[in-house]
Amino acid sequence: MFSPNDVYVEELYYQYLRDPNSVSPEWQEYFRTYAAHPPQQRNGKQSIVPTPSIAPNFGGVGSETAPAGSPRAMPLTEIKRQLLAGEQAEPLSGIRERIAENMTRSLAVPTATSVRDIPIKVLEENRLLINDFLSSRGKQKLSYTHIIAWAIVRALRKYPQLNDSCIAAEDGKYYRIHRPSINIGLALDTVRSDGTRVLVVPSIKAAETLTFAEFVEHYNELIEKARRGKLSVEDLAGATVTLTNPGMIGTVMSMPRLMEGQGLIIATGSIDYPAEFSAVMPEVLVTLAVSKVMTVTSTYDHRIIQGAESGEFLQYLEHLLKGEGNFYDQIFAALKIPLEPYRWTVDNRLNPFGPQEKEEQLEKETLVNKLINAYRVRGHISADINPLGYEAFHYPELQLSYYGLTVWDLDREFDTGGLGGVKRAPLREILRMLRKTYCGHIGIEYMHIQSPEQKFWIQEYVESTRFERTFTPEERQRIYRKLMEAEMLESFINTKFIGAKRFSIEGSEAFIPTLDYVLGCASRAGLKGAVLGMAHRGRLNVLVNIMGKQPEKLFNEFEGIFDGDSVLGSGDVKYHLGSQAIYRAPDGKDISVVLAPNPSHLEAVNPVVEGMARALCDEFGDRTYSTVLPILVHGDAAFAGQGVVQETLNLSRLRGYRTGGTIHIIINNQIGFTTSPEDGRSTPYASGIAKFLQVPILHVNGDDPEACIAAAQFAFEYRQRFGDDVVIDIYGYRKYGHNEGDDPTATQPLLYRAIRQHQPVRQLYRDRLFAEGVLTPEEEEHLSTDYHALLAAAFDRRKEARTEQQQPVQLSASVHGPVSTGVPVETLQMIGERLTTTPAGFNLHPKVGDELKRRRQQVQSPQSQVSWGMAEALAFGSLLLEHRPVRLTGQDSQRGTFNHRQAVLHDYQTDSIYIPLNHIAPEQERIHIYNSPLSEYAVLGYEYGYSTIRTRGLTLWEAQFGDFANGAQIVIDQFISSGEEKWGQVSNLVLLLPHGYDGQGPEHSSARLERYLQLCAEENMIVCYLTTPAQLFHALRRQVHAPWRKPLILLTPKGYLRKVSSPLEELATGAFYEVFDDAQIPDPATVERVLLVSGMFYYELEAARSARGLDSRVAIVRIEQLYPLAMEQLRQIIDRYPNARDIVWVQEEPQNMGAWQYMFPHLIALAPHRRICYVGRPAAASPATGSFLVHNQEQEAVLASAFDKLEPVFDCSAR
């Protein structure tokens, strides 16, 4: 059997004879088999090498009988005799002779040909669309032939009989060979080494079983093998149908020869407008909706295929190429193109032969503008942002058909509204610009922003740049180096500490160069610092590759040995630790960076970082609050799931909390532990909650680090221009489970199958740089070798770097030591005068004016009685004069929930404000006092972060009621009470918690004192329940003047705010007292019972004692500071009452609340030979009753019990 591949095979055979090793082993084996059975001689020559075929070798095939209808062979003498003058007879040899023989033998096959002109408008436009998509992804483009060949395969599935062939047997009968598979041959014109051209027809086997993507892969592989002369025996065997494309060289139509063994050959002509339109102006062609056409011929074996079958086949082929049968939809789906393909339709112009009607023109212009707007609003939905390829899909509002536009409108020009700086453009170009801008590796959401200035700035930025940035080779090499460092550090740790938790960044390594770029922008912009907050994933990588932590210290931490500079106290796990460093950008500019320590409570660090940034701005004197950059790194599940995210976002534009714009980066693993996104959020994106803030949100493909950098550049420029937040949502994946010891395949098998098959971003980017000549394999190997050597050397040095494990810090100064907090009377009087003076013409509210008059009287003399609110104001004012800044926030804190503060005065007529505390003296510090939003969690976290930076001043947070503070319990538990012990992070934050039982119900009575006391240990914080304004004054000043820094939990009064007072001289000459003995006892020996109490309940006990005439028999001792408890001082006081048999703890709270559980063991230690008694409400599930009547009854019962006969809880005297 002869074949068009004969010539190619014979050439290989001659090459094999010269040097067997010059051909592949497969061809060597084939030619050895051929040599063992040489063919017969023909006309004195050896016949050509038989081409491999999977067709059966029926008898008679290949016989020397000339085919019917072939030209008669003439004697050579006759040929020469007939030559005219000047003519020569040149014998054909080699390849040319073989071609002549093949063509002659093809005459044995009786053929017929069907011809059809097919309009290819839809094919052309969809191919452009496909190639725009593929090129944007760095993939190889498709030729027309890719799609036409696939259409032929689809058509043969509908008409399988055209895939058959006909064979003549020795018995004189013809046999129809039914082919089980479609093996489509591709006629390829190849160039030999000597410049001559050879036709080969390799085939794609079983094409009907392939997806289009697989078909393209096989097609491209054959083309490449043919180009390199590497086609195999199998490649050249068994074509059942052939496609040839002479149209590539301009041929309009061709009727190729059908080779024996096939039943069909398809030829495609050139693609152009019909000849009759060749001189028509392009504008007219567009107006008339004239399509280019392609002539397709179907040459078939007429013995088994009839003309009608061939005609139907071509008709169906036309339908497919027009898009019927979901032809292009399936192609787009196979290539994961998130767009709807163009479809064939009739042009809908009203009058194509005349000028376009104005109304019709305006309507289409309007429709195109709607389409443009739709891309601005919804383009991100079709963006290629998911490395795993799951997210993108086509959206109706982004399709032409949604607006009644057709494929014929693509060549027509429309007004763009200035899109990308272009006034008018063909619709095709408009769509291309829109897709490049909004549907690439970055999908941006910004049309929800109401500010026209911000929205139009974003629109101009993204449409003019299309997020395309020209990187220098040095920049790209740095990006790669950061990717390499990120991946190699994780890999190194994994090999040295197998199975250890590290919460690796693998799968989202692009985050590291993104963060590196943001910090570089900050340094180049001259910012003074950056504060970074992030959870555990990727934290170790940031510490080493961004913050510059020595790897050997990290390796020591994996072995349980922490460096003294990294941690104080008992420490924390390595992936919670913070750090401070000087970051140096590539241009040599520096910026100070703080990585805040964090607990495992995801997102809890967010407000802490914001507070730290604000405090640094205040320290730098930056009233714009923009010179320190907060960067918050989130997890996708946590960003959507943790309420503190919303609370923190809400702070961003509030004048008391703004920090000049935060850059948020979501490391989007597309999973939360084992929870899939569909179970973890109700929004399409993890970033959905951020839209309420009306900030731009950029979704970025983490497999494209340059896109991540482009998003970071946009984010920084936007932040600098508008002082607003930006969210970058980097789509990646998590290589391992939640931690390295977790197996995620049990719960997400398909996801992790895709992850296992996915190339890492470092490899993808490396190959890209190789292909573009930016990096050579030798340079890359040098980089990776050097970094691995650095890590290995650090690992070997780790023992040298070890120090003894850090012991808990022991403070040199005792928390119980005296602290000088008095202020001269004259200074207090001056402060009081300034605080009660307003500018001329300032219209005070009458009630506020009366309050200021009363306060002025409170500083008239040393014996003047100072109220609670005035004592606080004097403490603030005195600190400000001492150049100690004060910051106070909370709900209603400017006025005070109970009208006791009035720190910010409002003009009753104009609503202008005046803050007397900021007008005491010219050189004073300022007080920053703000009403907070209705939030506890974020606001308290913010103030804690602020206080860790500005420890030279006083930072306070006031709860509206102490009951509400548990809305910030995570901050109290994970930061305030334990931050110093875990991270060495000190704070002198003051929590003002209104507390007291006055009948206001279960949510307005208790600050949950017991919870704070339960958290107390190792002198971690101070808990006070004070009884006098003077104590408040000294407690607040002690927070600043003490040699230590500790958080202060201060339970403050409500109803007693105006009932208690202290002489002014106690503020001047006194100090803070941790315990008050009973000064009213004339003779301690007469005391039979000692009541211990804390807080304002003291005054009710004192009144009840007097009413019962027990002033000399019952002593009331006030414990002002519950923790740390002044044990020695308290023991001395109790010892003063030798005859007091009962030591009674009295409280308003139920027995399972308040300080009783905390005090009980201390009382046993303090009174070893006495009876320990409890007086208070019985244990209860709720802190207080909701009935005022019941409250009064309970209060009276508690007071009565304090003086009645008591049964001891513990009788030490009986031991």
SS3 935: coil
User: CA 833: distance to chain centroid?
Assistant: 55
Report d(CA 883, CA 925) in Å as an integer.
Answer: 5
Contact criterion met (CB below 8 Å) for 1033 and 1026:
no
Enclosing domain of residue 659: 473-797
Average pLDDT over residues 723-738: 92
797 falls in which pLDDT band (50, 70, 90)? confident
Structure tokens of 400? Answer: 């032409």
Contact criterion met (CB below 8 Å) for 1174 and 1208:
no
SS3 675: strand
Looking at residue 93, what is its pLDDT? 67
Most confident of 343-352, 752-761, 778-787: 778-787
User: CA 529: distance to chain centroid?
Assistant: 23
My answer on whether 752 and 883 are in the same domain is no
Looking at residue 565, what is its pLDDT? 52
Which residues sit opposite 1123 in a β-bridge? 1023
My answer on whether 882 and 939 are in the same domain is yes
Cα distances from 331 to residues 143, 155, 203, 213, in angstroms, run: 14, 15, 21, 8
Q: Does the structure show a pLDDT above 80 at 514? A: yes
The residue type found at 221 is E
Report d(CA 821, CA 1071) in Å as an integer.
Answer: 6
Last residue of a domain, one of 283, 316, 334: 334
Strands 1089-1093 and 1142-1150, bridge-based pairing: parallel
Average pLDDT over residues 921-935: 95
Element (H, E) at 184: strand 184-186
Average pLDDT over residues 242-271: 85
41 in any annotated domain: yes
The residue type found at 645 is V
Looking at residue 283, what is its pLDDT? 82
Structure tokens of 1175? Answer: 């007086």
Report d(CA 1050, CA 1046) in Å as an integer.
Answer: 12
Share of the chain above pLDDT 70, in %: 91
Q: Does the structure show a pLDDT above 70 at 472? A: yes
My answer on whether 1087 and 953 are in the same domain is no
Q: HEC states along 429-455? A: HHHHHHHHHHCCCEEEECCCCCCHHHH
**966, burial (CB in 10 Å: exposed 0-12, middle 13-18, buried 19+):** middle
Contact criterion met (CB below 8 Å) for 632 and 662:
yes
Last residue of a domain, one of 313, 334, 355: 334
Q: Does the structure show a pLDDT above 80 at 354? A: no
Report d(CA 1155, CA 195) in Å as an integer.
Answer: 99
My answer on whether 1082 and 1054 are in the same domain is no
My answer on whether 1173 and 1133 are in the same domain is yes
- The pTM of the whole model exceeds 0.75: yes
Report d(CA 550, CA 801) in Å as an integer.
Answer: 10
Q: Is 302 a catalytic site residue? A: yes
My answer on whether 1045 and 1096 are in the same domain is no
Strands 927-931 and 886-890, bridge-based pairing: parallel
644 falls in which pLDDT band (50, 70, 90)? very high
837 in any annotated domain: no
Average pLDDT over residues 1-18: 67
Strands 697-701 and 1022-1025, bridge-based pairing: unpaired
339 in any annotated domain: no
Average pLDDT over residues 943-962: 96
DSSP state of 747: T
Looking at residue 339, what is its pLDDT? 81
My answer on whether 600 and 739 are in the same domain is yes
Specify the range with the lowest mean pLDDT, choosing from 426-435, 563-572, 621-630, 1065-1074.
Answer: 563-572
Counted domains in the chain: 4
| CATH number where 1022 lies | 3.40.50.12470
Q: How many residues does the chain have?
A: 1215
Contact criterion met (CB below 8 Å) for 889 and 904:
no
My answer on whether 1094 and 987 are in the same domain is no
3-state helix, strand, coil in the chain (%, to 5): 45, 15, 40
Closest among 8, 5, 4, 3 to 193, alpha carbons compared? 8
Q: Does the structure show a pLDDT above 70 at 971? A: yes
Looking at residue 35, what is its pLDDT? 58
Q: What is the C-alpha end-to-end distance of the chain, expressed in Å?
A: 116
Specify the range with the lowest mean pLDDT, choosing from 95-99, 309-313, 1093-1097.
Answer: 95-99
880 falls in which pLDDT band (50, 70, 90)? very high
Looking at residue 806, what is its pLDDT? 45
My answer on whether 1028 and 1175 are in the same domain is no
Looking at residue 41, what is its pLDDT? 44
Phi, psi for residue 858 in degrees, rounded to 5: -75, -10
Structure tokens of 411? Answer: 């060549």
My answer on whether 941 and 1003 are in the same domain is yes
816 falls in which pLDDT band (50, 70, 90)? confident
Contact criterion met (CB below 8 Å) for 1186 and 1214:
no
Q: Give 726 or 740, the one with higher predicted confidence.
A: 726
Report d(CA 992, CA 932) in Å as an integer.
Answer: 14
1049 in any annotated domain: yes
| 1013-1070 pLDDT, tens digit each | 999 999 999 999 999 999 999 999 999 999 999 999 999 999 999 999 999 999 999 8
| 194-220 pLDDT, tens digit each | 666 778 889 999 999 999 999 999 999
How does 348-387 read in b/e, with b if 16+ C-beta sit within 10 Å? ebeeeeeeeeeeeeeebeebbbebbebbbbbbbbbbbbbb
Last residue of a domain, one of 307, 334, 361: 334
Share of the chain above pLDDT 90, in %: 68
Q: Which residue do the tokens 């919303």 mark?
A: 646
Specify the range with the lowest mean pLDDT, choosing from 45-54, 643-652, 968-977.
Answer: 45-54
| CATH number where 515 lies | 3.40.50.970
798 falls in which pLDDT band (50, 70, 90)? confident
Closest among 6, 277, 285, 267 to 121, alpha carbons compared? 285
Q: Does the structure show a pLDDT above 70 at 54? A: no
Structure tokens of 1163? Answer: 């009382």
Which is catalytic among the residues 146, 178, 218, 302? 302
423 in any annotated domain: no
| CATH number where 1144 lies | 3.40.50.11610
585 in any annotated domain: yes
Average pLDDT over residues 340-350: 84
My answer on whether 993 and 1087 are in the same domain is no
Q: Does the structure show a pLDDT above 70 at 810? A: no
Contacts of 1190 (CB under 8 A, 6+ apart): none
Looking at residue 66, what is its pLDDT? 47
| CATH number where 267 lies | 3.30.559.10
Q: Give 833 or 746, the one with higher predicted confidence.
A: 833
308 in any annotated domain: yes
Q: Residue 15 CB: number of other CB atoms within 10 A?
A: 16
842 in any annotated domain: no
My answer on whether 767 and 728 are in the same domain is yes
| 271-298 pLDDT, tens digit each | 988 888 888 888 888 888 888 999 999 9
